[in-house]
Amino acid sequence: MARLIIGTGDTSYQVIHPFGHLPWGWTYGNVSHVATDSKDRVYAFQRKDPPVLVFDSDGNFLTGWGSGVLFDAHGIFITTDDDVFLIDRDHHEVLKFNAEGKIQLRIGTRERPAFQAPFNHPTDVAIAPSGEIYVADGYGNSTVHRFSPDGKHLGSWGTPGAGPGQFTTPHGIWVDGNDRVYVTDRENNRVQIFSPEGDYITEWRDFFHPMDIFMDTQGRFYVTDQIPRLSVLDADGKLLSRGKTAANPHGIWGDSKGNLYTAGNLDGVTKYTKL
């Protein structure tokens, strides 16, 4: 049987789809995002109970949690300490859990959207090395919000539009080791880069509706868009590799071995094993 390979050079991958062996009788819901923890366990965040499904790296099901707490799965971020940050989009909340699914922090006012203020159908969350929390607030708003590690609102930036520092659906977000903030500005077909305070630095283009962004330990960036496609770039935005994905990737994450995982909404989870 032929293998499906995407990418080039040292960013080539064998596609495993679907990924994850669910318990008998279970099916995936709409899987919005995926992430891995320090043990390379894979967390699939879905719009179905239980909202969080946890697998080992071979796809064996370990546990599920979040039922009755999480309503509308969207973004996920897992820290090096295995704190799990989740976006409950239509409840307008960011929630922090430990690896066992116990709530540690809630940010936002449940069921009370706010215009250009936290939150109005937020999309994604990223944690800076300092522990500060950055949230892309992209469906009802066109903003990015910054919070202290304990959830205090420190500031926001962004307005509707297509100019520098403006957004039309800020959808994915990442913060690098120098505290630069990367935002996939979906309908403007670009990734914008900012200082921690929201000062515009530059932007990367040549995307079609970019959905999400992930940075590996070597400083390479992985951007998914709706071609559907995966692009690999260096820290200066130079394109290193590119390939068509097996499913339309909504969220992307990588593990410690260089493997990638994407969440494909109704296509479930796909694993890209590094060759």
Residues 6+ apart with CB under 8 A from 153: 118, 145, 146, 147
pTM of the full structure: 0.97
The contacts of residue 238 (CB under 8 Å, 6+ apart) are none
Distance between CA atoms of 67 and 52, rounded to whole angstroms?
Answer: 8
Give residue 1's pLDDT. 53
The DSSP symbol for 60 reads B
Q: Tell me whether residue 105 is exposed, middle or buried, using C-beta atoms within 10 angstroms of its C-beta: 0 to 12, 13 to 18, 19 or more.
A: middle
E strand or H helix at 19, and its extent? none
- Write down the pLDDT at residue 247: 86
CB 158 within 8 A of CB 142: yes
Assess contact for 253 and 269: CB atoms under 8 A.
no
The domains found in the chain, sorted by start residue, are 5-274 (2.120.10.30)
| CA end-to-end distance (rounded Å), the chain | 17
**Backbone torsions φ then ψ of 186, nearest 5 degrees:** -55, -60
Measured between alpha carbons, how far is 118 from 101 in angstroms, rounded to an integer?
A: 24
Q: What tens digit of pLDDT does each residue of 144-186 get?
A: 999 999 999 999 999 999 999 999 999 999 999 999 999 999 9
**HEC per residue, 201-226:** EEEECCCCCCCEEEECCCCCEEEEEC
58 Cβ contact partners less than 8 Å away, ≥ 6 residues apart: none
In angstroms, rounded to a whole number, what is the distance separating the alpha carbons of residues 215 and 153?
A: 25
pLDDT, residue 246, reads: 85
- Residue ranges, the chain, pLDDT below 70: 1-2
Residues found in the chain: 275
Closest Cα partner for 158 from 214, 118, 204, 206? Answer: 118
